[in-house]
Chain A
Amino acid sequence: MSAITTPRVRRGTVRTGITLSRRAGMVFVLPALALFSIFIAYPLLTALSYSFFDWTGIVRGGFVGVENYVTLFTRLPYRDDLPNAFVHNLLLFVGAMVFQNTIGLGLATLLHRIGRFKRFFQTMYTLPYLVSPLVIGYLWSLMLSPLFGPVNAVLRGIGLGELAQPWLGNPQTAIWVVVVVTAWQWIGFPVLLYGAALGGIPQEIDEAASIDGASAWQRFRAITLPMLLPAIGTVSVLTFIGAMEAFPIPYALGGSQGNPAGATDVMSLLFYRTAFESGSSNAIGTSSAIATLLFLFIFGISMLITWFMRRTERKLF
């Protein structure tokens, strides 16, 4: 297909203008920079430095180089738990992209077209997001209880009794429960974000295409989707970070050990266990190494996604 660049459509993104001098820019950035440096950069860098030391409880011992990292790959339980948890984080990301973001985009697009009940629907979809994730996780674990949970009761009630099962007790289903519950809670996020982005698309183009006889799907593919790319990029990066740092929902659904038998274990749980539950005196060293690895991975991949999205955008316009 042909790509036709119309300056009218994408004025801003193509030429990010320079209208601020360096000094004026600095003044604008300064308050944020100060706050960020003191409360994020400094503690973060300090925490990363912890991973290169040997610890006795909360007292720092000598510099040990990468020994804590070596521990992660050679010693139990880390050499088993780390890859296991990491794969689950990736599953969470893939699951979120598939369920949460496509359904979210679909809902946002449909909502964008309808007039009536729009705010009502937006509110409905966003409600789960408002509830604390810990509460959500807890709520679902009660609902999925094989003994007292209404989910299995409903399945039996509508004649789908054979589908009823110990959702959180079966390693095959447990991780998917985490994926689906997370997606269920977060769906309002893409709905609102895509909603805002759709609102930013000039209506005239869509109308013109409509008059020219383009079907809804054609218009979506040819106009809406490309113009949503920056928003999709944003949502993807945020989803990725969210999936990598997932904590409260897996914690509420599977406990800090990622029950059953590590089936719902994720990186943050591994960090949490190591830092606060292991009883190891070098807990800070080892857990900081986990967090550092996680951070570097998230950082690298997010950069990659951003770069990929920017390149696609540039190709398009």
Chain B
Amino acid sequence: MTATITPDTSTDDSTDRGGTAPSRRAGRRATVGGVASSTFLWLYAAISIAPLLLMLSNSLRTTQDMAKQPLGLPLPPNFTSYGKAWITASFDTYFFNSIFVTVASVLLSTAVSLLAAYAFARTRSKLFTTLEGVFLSGLMLPVYLAILPLFFMLDAAGMISNLWGLILVYGALGIPFSTFVLASFFRQLPIELDEAARLDGAGPFTTFWRVHLPLVRPAIATVIVFRFVPVWNDFFYPLILIRDQSSYTLPVGITRFFGEYQTDWATLFAGLTLATIPLVVLFLLATKQIVSGLTAGMSK
């Protein structure tokens, strides 16, 4: 297959190419490649963002205008759709419910998964391998399958329309993915760290808390982001598990909104934009954390 390069082999590689001056060549290539790669990066950024900008732009136009002219600028911008969307859908209540449920459940699943993933990476017995496999299998659970039993269970516990019920469910649903990612990161940490910590007299928990946790920060950031988004956007569980309108989360609010404004594109786009903005803002604020977490990992 392929080789892991040590200084020796890469010297072989460069001598293979004979007479050419490697440094000059690499330099010119970097410029051409640099232009090509930044073109690619910008182009793809445009592809990524264009439909979302279109959503934003169309939310400022009228439906009749859109029907006559698919492409057009919102000139002059028309904000009436936002008023309509905001008043009809009680977005503020849904918004706070969503924040509460998402933050609490992501914290819950990340905390328990960190502990479990650490154990999986630092033990080697059949029991734990099996458990890890069982957790992993949860990742493959077609989510819609478990809804009826889950409903009966929460109903029996009197936890329907209860946001904590939803938090526990999401918390549990986060475990397979979070342990999966975190365990692979823990595994990459050298075992010498543990040995050193143990020589210093640290117990298992202290080692985990003081030594490992800081090192897997990028992984934690990744896990939090990748759990935050699906939980925030999920409409299926609250649809079934939440009855009380005052406990609705944003996505359920939106699905109702869909039904009402199917052909009123302008209002629909305004509603979709309103629902999307919080997550985008949150992400923009958090990218700083995520990226600094990532760079911290890189400089190691």
Contacts of A148 in B (CB 8 A): 66-67, 70
Expressed in whole angstroms, the minimum distance between the Cβ of A5 and any Cβ of chain B is 7
**Per-residue interface assignment for chain B, residues 102 to 121, with 1 indicating a CB less than 8 Å from any chain A CB and 0 otherwise:** 00000011011101101111
Q: Does B255 contact A (CB under 8 A)?
A: yes
Do A6 and B6 touch across chains, with their CB atoms under 8 A apart? yes
Do A316 and B2 touch across chains, with their CB atoms under 8 A apart? yes
Contact of A28 among B118, B133, B168 (CB under 8 A): B118
Q: Does A268 contact B (CB under 8 A)?
A: yes
Q: Does B156 contact A (CB under 8 A)?
A: no
Considering the chains assembled together, what is the distance between the CA atoms of A241 and B9 in angstroms? 39
Considering the chains assembled together, what is the distance between the CA atoms of A35 and B165 in angstroms? 12
Expressed in whole angstroms, the minimum distance between the Cβ of B189 and any Cβ of chain A is 6
Considering the chains assembled together, what is the distance between the CA atoms of A239 and B45 in angstroms? 22
Do B172 and A36 touch across chains, with their CB atoms under 8 A apart? yes
Expressed in whole angstroms, the minimum distance between the Cβ of B232 and any Cβ of chain A is 8
Contacts of B226 in A (CB 8 A): 189, 192
Q: From B197, which residue of chain A is reached at the shortest CB distance?
A: A19
Q: Does B122 contact A (CB under 8 A)?
A: yes
Expressed in whole angstroms, the minimum distance between the Cβ of B18 and any Cβ of chain A is 11
B interface majority secondary structure: helix
Do B10 and A213 touch across chains, with their CB atoms under 8 A apart? yes
Q: Does A22 contact B (CB under 8 A)?
A: yes
Q: Does A139 contact B (CB under 8 A)?
A: yes
Contact of B2 among A130, A225, A268 (CB under 8 A): A225
Considering the chains assembled together, what is the distance between the CA atoms of A31 and B119 in angstroms? 12
Considering the chains assembled together, what is the distance between the CA atoms of A244 and B179 in angstroms? 21
Contacts of A33 in B (CB 8 A): 116, 131
Considering the chains assembled together, what is the distance between the CA atoms of A4 and B294 in angstroms? 29
Do B175 and A11 touch across chains, with their CB atoms under 8 A apart? no
Do A29 and B131 touch across chains, with their CB atoms under 8 A apart? yes
Contacts of A244 in B (CB 8 A): 140, 142
Q: Does A255 contact B (CB under 8 A)?
A: no
Do B112 and A114 touch across chains, with their CB atoms under 8 A apart? no
Partner-contacting stretch, out of B80-88, B89-97, B144-152: B144-152
Q: Does B7 contact A (CB under 8 A)?
A: yes
Q: Does B77 contact A (CB under 8 A)?
A: no
Do A302 and B229 touch across chains, with their CB atoms under 8 A apart? no
Q: Does B276 contact A (CB under 8 A)?
A: yes
Considering the chains assembled together, what is the distance between the CA atoms of A140 and B171 in angstroms? 31
The answer to whether residues A20 and B255 also contact, given A44-B145, A135-B272, A184-B48 and a CB cut-off of 8 A, is no
Contact of B145 among A127, A139, A237, A288 (CB under 8 A): A288
Contacts of A119 in B (CB 8 A): 287-288, 291
**Per-residue interface assignment for chain A, residues 257 to 278, with 1 indicating a CB less than 8 Å from any chain B CB and 0 otherwise:** 0000000000110011001000
User: Which residues of A in the span 200-222 have a Cβ within 8 Å of any Cβ on B?
Assistant: 200, 202-203, 205, 208-210, 212-216, 218-219, 221-222
- Which range contains the number of B residues in contact with the other chain? 35 or more
Q: From B115, which residue of chain A is reached at the shortest CB distance?
A: A28
User: Which residues of B in the span 11-60 have a Cβ within 8 Å of any Cβ on A?
Assistant: 11, 13-14, 17, 22-23, 25-26, 29-30, 33, 37-38, 40-41, 44-45, 47-49, 51-52, 54-55
A interface majority secondary structure: helix
Contacts of A317 in B (CB 8 A): 4
Contacts of A306 in B (CB 8 A): 136
Contacts of A230 in B (CB 8 A): 184, 188
The answer to whether residues A214 and B219 also contact, given A187-B48, A245-B143 and a CB cut-off of 8 A, is no
Q: Does A124 contact B (CB under 8 A)?
A: yes
Q: Does B298 contact A (CB under 8 A)?
A: yes
**Per-residue interface assignment for chain B, residues 175 to 203, with 1 indicating a CB less than 8 Å from any chain A CB and 0 otherwise:** 11101110010011111101100100000
The answer to whether residues A302 and B136 also contact, given A1-B2, A17-B191, A33-B116 and a CB cut-off of 8 A, is yes
Considering the chains assembled together, what is the distance between the CA atoms of A237 and B181 in angstroms? 11
Q: From A181, which residue of chain B is reached at the shortest CB distance?
A: B51
Contacts of B150 in A (CB 8 A): 39, 43
Expressed in whole angstroms, the minimum distance between the Cβ of B222 and any Cβ of chain A is 5
Expressed in whole angstroms, the minimum distance between the Cβ of B176 and any Cβ of chain A is 8
Q: Which of A19, A48, A142 has the most CB of B within 10 A?
A: A19
Q: Does A128 contact B (CB under 8 A)?
A: yes
Q: List 18 A-B contacts (CB under 8 A).
A: A4-B4, A22-B127, A29-B116, A32-B135, A35-B168, A35-B175, A39-B150, A58-B148, A114-B37, A134-B254, A135-B272, A140-B51, A150-B54, A193-B222, A199-B297, A212-B11, A218-B13, A223-B5
- What are the 7 tightest A-B residue pairs by CB atom distance, in nearest-first order? A213-B22, A17-B191, A39-B172, A199-B298, A213-B14, A28-B119, A32-B116
Q: Give A residues with C-beta under 8 Å from B.
A: 1-6, 9, 11-13, 15-22, 24-26, 28-29, 31-33, 35-36, 38-44, 46-48, 50, 58, 103, 106-107, 110-111, 113-114, 117-135, 138-140, 142-143, 148-150, 152-154, 157, 184, 187, 189, 192-193, 195-196, 198-200, 202-203, 205, 208-210, 212-216, 218-219, 221-223, 225-226, 230, 234, 237-238, 241, 244-245, 247, 267-268, 271-272, 275, 284, 288, 291-292, 294-295, 298-299, 302-303, 306, 312, 315-317
